[in-house]
């Protein structure tokens, strides 16, 4: 199957809140497959619809245990916490240290239109939370505190100045 381009930050679609899906139709099934193909092509472990330019509440995840496809995903329960560096296909070469719940229960519609609950911990829980953030218009850079944001801007400015003087 074909793959699509991944929208890059600061594309405004990445900041839009996605609309809920009323039911799974052949259109959503095709979008799920396009998303998986794109995610695999770019060697990701998760992808949300806005990352390919669609503002529907759809995500796909595969951490190596098989693909998960969810529409209208929500986090129902959380437990524990864990801190880890996260990257994002829409913000290449940037990682952010993010604290998230270690265990979650996520709910949504699967590709057959049935309501499902997924109990996840560790990496799977983190990836699901990351992709659900995308559906709300939230990105990993939003987890940076003010000091970290200032340091990154300063570092970027120094890099630009260095290249400008060549």
Contact 79, 105 (CB under 8 A): no
Could you report the per-residue pLDDT of 100-114, keeping only the tens digit for each? 999 999 999 999 999
In a domain, 6, yes or no: no
Residue, of 165 and 131, whose pLDDT is higher: 131
In a domain, 2, yes or no: no
Residue 68 makes CB contacts below 8 A (sequence gap 6+) with 60, 61, 62, 118, 128
pLDDT band at 163 (very low <50, low <70, confident <90, very high): low
pLDDT band at 148 (very low <50, low <70, confident <90, very high): confident
Length reported for the chain = 166
Residue, of 37 and 157, whose pLDDT is higher: 37
Catalytic residue among 43, 117, 131, 161: 131
Tell me which DSSP letter residue 112 carries.
Answer: T
* For residue 98, pLDDT beyond 90: yes
Q: Kindly report the CA angle at 142 between 13 and 5, in degrees rounded to 5?
A: 35
Could you report the per-residue pLDDT of 113-138, keeping only the tens digit for each? 999 999 999 999 999 999 999 999 99
80 three-state secondary structure: coil
Instruction: Please give the Cα distance from 38 to 16 (Å, whole number).
Output: 20
Q: How many CB atoms lie within 10 A of CB 144?
A: 17
* For residue 162, pLDDT beyond 70: no
Confidence (pLDDT) at 146: 64
Segments of the chain assigned E as strands: 46-48, 58-61, 68-79, 82-88, 91-100, 103-109, 115-121
Confidence (pLDDT) at 159: 66
What CATH number is given to the structural domain containing 78?
3.90.45.10
* Domain tally, the chain: 1
Segments forming the whole domain that contains residue 54 = 12-164
Confidence (pLDDT) at 166: 63
Q: What is the rounded average pLDDT for all residues in the chain?
A: 93
* For residue 149, pLDDT beyond 70: no
Instruction: Please give the Cα distance from 160 to 152 (Å, whole number).
Output: 12
Cα–Cα nearest to 143, from 111, 100, 109: 100
Contact 17, 50 (CB under 8 A): no
Is residue 131 part of the annotated active site? The answer reads: yes
Confidence (pLDDT) at 150: 66
In a domain, 7, yes or no: no
In a domain, 3, yes or no: no
* For residue 160, pLDDT beyond 70: no
Instruction: Please give the Cα distance from 85 to 32 (Å, whole number).
Output: 26
In a domain, 84, yes or no: yes
pLDDT band at 68 (very low <50, low <70, confident <90, very high): very high
Instruction: Please give the Cα distance from 73 to 161 (Å, whole number).
Output: 43
């Amino acid at each position: 199957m074909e793959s699509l381009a991944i929208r890059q930050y600061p594309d405004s679609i990445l900041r839009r809140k996605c609309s809920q899906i009323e039911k799974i139709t052949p259109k959503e099934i095709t979008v799920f497959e396009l998303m998986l193909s794109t995610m695999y092509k770019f060697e990701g472990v998760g992808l949300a619809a806005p990352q390919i330019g669609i503002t529907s509440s759809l995500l796909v995840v595969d951490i190596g245990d098989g693909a998960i496809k969810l529409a209208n995903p929500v986090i129902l329960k959380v437990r524990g916490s864990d801190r880890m560096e996260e990257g994002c296909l829409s913000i290449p070469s940037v990682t952010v240290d993010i604290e998230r719940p270690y265990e979650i229960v996520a709910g949504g519609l699967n590709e057959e239109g049935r309501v499902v609950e997924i109990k996840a911990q560790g990496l799977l829980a983190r990836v699901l939370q990351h992709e659900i953030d995308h559906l709300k218009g939230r990105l990993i850079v939003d987890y940076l505190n003010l000091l970290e944001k200032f340091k990154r801007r300063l570092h970027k400015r120094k890099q630009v100045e260095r290249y400008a003087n060549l």
